[in-house]
Structures are given as C-alpha cells and as structure tokens.
C-alpha cells in the first residue's frame, strides 16, 4: 500500500492559491479504541458545521458498534464529510476518493461513503454514473446511517439525501473526537434561508430551523462538567436563531440564547459564528457588552464593498447598512472588539472601481482577519443560472492578492494594538514551534504565545504582550 494513501500529502500537490479559507481545512477524527468490532474512519472538509456534524455521525455509529480510527488502513468504513462551497473543495474530495478507491480494489470489503454538501449535490454522479462510493448521505439524514450501512452490507447501495424542515439532532450528544479538551462546538441551528446568489448552502443544507434552547443549555452545562472552558455556538446565520416551545409559552431569540449560555458558568467563554450583516442587532451587541465571558469577536462577512455587487450577490444589504453595523459594534463594544470578514474578488461583472470599493471598505473597518477567495461559480446557484462569470482568472487572482496584502497590513496593525497590554488567555495547547511555550487565544480571538512555566492546557493566564506579528502576539505571564 502506498504511503500517500494513508496521509493527506495529496493536498499539497497542487500549487496553492493565494487565499486563506476555512474550506481548506481537513480533519481526521481521532481514535476511540473501546473494543468495538468495526472501525470508522472520517475525514471532514470545510467549515466548522462539518466538523460538528462529524461528531454527531461518530456518536450515532458508536452506538451501532463502530469505534473511530485515525488509521485508514484499519478501517471497515470510510466516510468523507464534504464541502461544496468552492470548486477546489470538491476537487480535493475527488482526489481523495480516487486514492481510497485504489485501496478498495485491494480491500473489497471496505465501505466508502460521502456525507454532507457534496453528497446532496452529486448523489447521482457518485452512485450511478461514476460508481465510486457505496453510500451517499446528506446532512439531514445521519440518523438513517445504521439502516443505510445495513443495506450496503447486504449488497445494495445506500442513499438518503432528503432535506428536512425539522431535523436539528438536538437529542444526540456529539463524540468530541477532534476537540482539544478545552473548546467545543455547539450547533444551535441548521440550514439557511438567505439565498445569496453565489452560495450552494440553501440547496445542500435546506431551510433554517432552530434547535430547542433547553437542549443547547444542557449541552453547554455538560461540557462545563466535563472540564471544557469555551464553546462556539454554530449556525449558518446565528442572528436568525428563533425558537418557540410547543405550547407557545417560551420564545428565545439569539440575544436571549447568548445570555442564557453565558450564565451557564462565568468560567465558560462563549463565542459564536456566523453573523449576517442584515440581521445582527443592537440587542446582541448589548448582551455581549454585559458579559465578560462572551468573547469580543464578531465574524461579519461583507463579501464586497460595493453596493451594486452586493445586490447582484443578493446579500440584501448595501454598503451604508454594513458600515452602520460596524459603527454600532464600535459604539457599543468599543474599538477593541475584533471583527473578521469573508471577501470575494472577481464576482460577476465586478469592475476595477468596484474592486477598489472593497479595498476602501477594508480600510474603513480594519478587520482583524479575513477569509479571502476569488469567485468560483458553483453549479445550481442563482449566480450560475442568471449571471455570467466574466472576470478572467488572472484578474480575479490579482485582485485577491491585493485584498490579501491589505489584510496582512490591517492584521498586523490590529495585533500591534495589543502590545503593552495584559490579555486573559485561555491555554489551548503547546506552541507549534516549541514545547517550552504555550498557545492560546484572548477574547478577541488573537493567538498569544508565552513561556509555559507551570501553566497547562485549560488554564486562564494573564499575559503581558511585548511584541506581535500579523498572526500572533508574544508575551510573558504576569
């Protein structure tokens, strides 16, 4: 068996594009080793929602007799939890499936499945045309996995990509396989009702539905009892969270949920992602201001700094609206509140002046960090059906590089603000470069490195920062 099959080295074979993107991350679920008869290997691609979903899948299959393994060679079932947000993400998964299927020819008993967004979008290609997988399961059908695996064990193909208006997996306790033991994700809602013209999520994850608030609070309390110090509340658009009890006596919006989670424990840090500029309210911002344990960091994707382009993207806000929301953040939470963004270069018909508007918006906000992409047309989206992808690739890449270069300057400036100050840092792990240094994040999500002394993972440490780069702050415990 070739070594490349057992690693993710194939990800580095292409010349990397100059972008920073959450969809470039890949996680392999850690091994459980509880003696169960069958072994499950999961690779998760893309966003935090996918990483959270893999924990749900692991929990469902753990109860069906599967231990997880981080060794593909020992697996009985291989699942790739996929992302369709960009073409490159799909190409990456296809390359991996090709490798795994080469292995399967030598191990015909191996079952291979695709989960998540690509499963919903490419079900017929995977199963009927290309015949490269045994199992295709969409993001709302994970409860059906045991039955589908039984079908495959019996010689059939297994497929369920039906989208649901109710499924939230509220009663399933995720297996925290990839957690550092300090931070965990809590999914508070699924799906998306925003029909951004460039995005496949509404078609692959379905309509918005919010999870029972009581189940979220129970999960947060359980995490605190297990020693976790930080949770991130996840949703495609957390600001539109809205839950009501069956009898109509309880109604909880996102600001109220945020407060309830913050009150679970003053030692529990609370983060959330992602906010939509059209929906984030002053009520949310004032709630953040009232509680020290709600982190002062907001991911507020702009996508473009030009109102005409934003209208083509169907973002349902214009530049003045976005600027007003940034001003509200600064007014209520202060200049130290960190703001991050997503930016797309070279969207359909974008002119050079409209690209300059994106750069000027970045100058207006001065983001702490950003995920930056050039536009990649996704089949089935509104943009693919109605707009022409007419910006040459070399122009997209050049504009993207200008966005990246400016963001590097702003990230360095924002980190420099922290020099000479004391930051409360939650230790997450050792520094990547030295076991003699620890790494953690402050409330603003900035990475802080400092000598370990007697501190350990999970400690809150006050660190005086003495220097910084665009990505890191360095300091000493005080």
Please give the pLDDT value at position 4. Answer: 41
Please give the pLDDT value at position 13. Answer: 39
- What gap in Å lies between CA 40 and CA 81, rounded to an integer? 13
Q: What does the block give as tokens for 227?
A: 């020693």
Q: What is the dihedral of CA 48, 164, 42, 155, to 10 degrees?
A: -170
- The DSSP element (H or E) to which 423 belongs, if any, is strand 422-430
Please give the pLDDT value at position 178. Answer: 63
Kindly report, residue by residue over 109-148, the tens digit of the pLDDT. 899 999 988 887 777 777 766 677 888 888 888 889 998 9
Three-state DSSP state, 234: strand
- What gap in Å lies between CA 264 and CA 262, rounded to an integer? 6
The number of beta carbons lying within 10 Å of the beta carbon of residue 372 is 20
Q: What is the pTM of this model?
A: 0.83
Please give the pLDDT value at position 23. Answer: 45
The string over 407-419, giving b where at least 16 C-beta atoms fall within 10 Å of a residue's C-beta and e elsewhere, is: bbebbeebbebbe
- What gap in Å lies between CA 408 and CA 359, rounded to an integer? 12
Please give the pLDDT value at position 24. Answer: 55
Please give the pLDDT value at position 419. Answer: 98
- What gap in Å lies between CA 7 and CA 33, rounded to an integer? 20
- 430's CB contacts (< 8 A; 6+ apart) are 437, 438, 439, 452
Please give the pLDDT value at position 177. Answer: 66
Please give the pLDDT value at position 6. Answer: 45
- 446's CB contacts (< 8 A; 6+ apart) are 338, 368, 414, 415, 418, 423, 473
Q: What does the block give as tokens for 154?
A: 């019996």
Residue numbers of the chain with a pLDDT score lower than 70: 1-24, 128-130, 177-178
């Amino acid at each position: 068996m070739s070594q490349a099959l057992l690693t993710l080295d194939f990800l580095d074979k292409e010349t990397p594009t100059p972008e920073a993107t959450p969809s470039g991350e890949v996680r392999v679920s850690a091994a459980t080793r509880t003696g169960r008869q069958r072994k499950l290997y999961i690779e998760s691609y893309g966003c935090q929602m996918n990483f959270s979903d893999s924990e749900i899948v692991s929990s469902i299959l753990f109860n069906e007799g599967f231990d997880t393994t981080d060794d593909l060679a020992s697996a009985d079932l291989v699942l790739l939890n996929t992302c369709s947000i960009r073409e490159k993400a799909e190409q990456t998964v296809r390359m991996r499936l090709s490798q795994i299927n080469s292995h399967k020819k030598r191990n015909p008993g191996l079952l291979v499945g695709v989960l998540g967004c690509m499963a919903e979008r490419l079900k017929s290609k995977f199963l009927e045309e290309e015949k490269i997988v045994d199992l295709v399961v969409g993001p709302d059908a994970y409860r059906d996995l045991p039955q589908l695996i039984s079908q495959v064990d019996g010689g059939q193909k297994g497929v369920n990509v039906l989208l649901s208006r109710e499924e939230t997996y509220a009663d399933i306790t995720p297996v925290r396989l990839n957690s550092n033991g300090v931070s965990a994700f809590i999914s508070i809602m699924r799906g998306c009702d925003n029909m951004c013209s460039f995005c496949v999520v509404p078609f692959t994850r379905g309509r918005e539905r919010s999870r029972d608030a009581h189940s979220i609070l129970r999960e947060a309390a359980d995490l605190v009892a297990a020693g976790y110090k930080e949770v991130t509340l996840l949703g495609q658009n957390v600001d539109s969270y809205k839950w009501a009890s069956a009898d109509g006596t309880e109604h909880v919006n996102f600001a109220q949920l945020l407060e309830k989670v913050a009150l679970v424990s003053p030692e529990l840090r609370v983060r959330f992602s992602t906010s939509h500029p059209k929906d984030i309210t002053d009520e949310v911002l004032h709630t953040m201001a009232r509680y020290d344990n709600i982190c002062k960091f907001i991911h507020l994707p702009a996508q473009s700094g030009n109102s005409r382009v934003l209208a083509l993207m169907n973002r349902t806000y214009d530049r003045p609206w976005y600027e007003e929301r940034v001003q509200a953040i600064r007014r209520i939470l202060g200049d130290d509140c960190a703001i991050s963004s997503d930016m797309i270069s070279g969207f359909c018909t974008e002119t050079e002046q409209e690209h300059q508007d994106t750069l000027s918006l970045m100058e207006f906000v001065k983001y702490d960090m950003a995920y930056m992409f050039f536009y990649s047309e996704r089949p089935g989206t509104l943009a693919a059906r109605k707009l022409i992808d007419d910006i040459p690739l070399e122009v997209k890449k050049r504009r993207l590089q200008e966005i990246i270069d400016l963001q590097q300057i702003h990230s360095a400036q924002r980190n420099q603000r922290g020099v000479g100050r004391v930051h409360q840092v939650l230790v997450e792990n050792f520094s990547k470069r030295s076991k003699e240094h620890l790494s953690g994040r402050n409330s603003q999500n900035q990475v802080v490195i400092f000598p370990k002394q007697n501190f350990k993972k999970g400690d809150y440490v006050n660190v005086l920062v003495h220097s910084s780069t665009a990505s890191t702050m360095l300091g000493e415990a005080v």
